[in-house]
Structure 1
């Protein structure tokens, strides 16, 4: 039975690798998938899903005002879709998550979304919040804290080597701007260790 999935994890947990792997698995069996990514996700170029280990491929762009039900319906008329895969799903609007749920319910088409649960200030993103409320299945993807090796539950934003606890919710960046951390090190990051890591 088709379901709406939300696979979430802190930065560095392999979400983009996983979506690319899922797409490859479908396509290696001769099945069609639709890859989607929000317009705001431009770290590696607009419309590009890219992992930190170098794997990447293009995806269709979701604008903030896009109707995903209509977009996917149009795509279904062109080809026989087996699944819809959405990267950086935390950036979706609430209504867009509801539209994905409608795709699952009306077309019995699996929709798998991947993204962060909360921002660098430990507040839920709008898209993630709605996915937690609406998804049939939630899967946590795990990674380790940059400082202690415990499970990372969030990410901490840095600027000029200093932790940032306020600012814009959305600031696209990679390893230079964010570190996966546990709750303890979100509050108390080891800046000496961070400095040593940069020197290595």
Structure 2
């Protein structure tokens, strides 16, 4: 349990650094998020795979990828890259990204299916309540009044509209610097 917590803390710190680098350098050259819609007025850069996008993470998934979905069904979406070990599950980065920490991931438990979804860092993903990377801690607490300290300096809150899921949210200097949608069924990769 302690190793998992340490790994998540290290991953969160790495996500913060990677996210800043990605956001600063290549937001327009990123693959489109699943189920994303184009931002008004944006045009894709020459040779880029998609225009800048926004995408919703929650209450039950991210685009066509849903919590509880089997590995077979998640892979059939065509959105996931090569598998990598992740705690007691298997993590799949989104296609176009080689690292699930930098490009978001879908963690799949053989028993519970998809248990953890983190959106790619360079896609301005947000919860249906409007919380995403860069949201203030005050606006996050207003959206989720039951937000409680969890582990590795993270916070956890129930997902409105999905009693079997939680958001894990991390802050740095009073702003969200990482968040994910996790299943409360899985004691290893999703719910800690």
Per the TM superposition, whether the score is higher than 0.5 is no
Question: Greater relative contact order (Cα 8 A, min sep 6): structure 1 or 2?
Answer: 1
Greater Rg, structure 1 or structure 2?
1
TM-score normalized by structure 2? 0.29
Between Structure 1 and Structure 2, the one with more helix by share is: 1
Between Structure 1 and Structure 2, the one with more strand by share is: 2
TM-score normalized by structure 1? 0.28
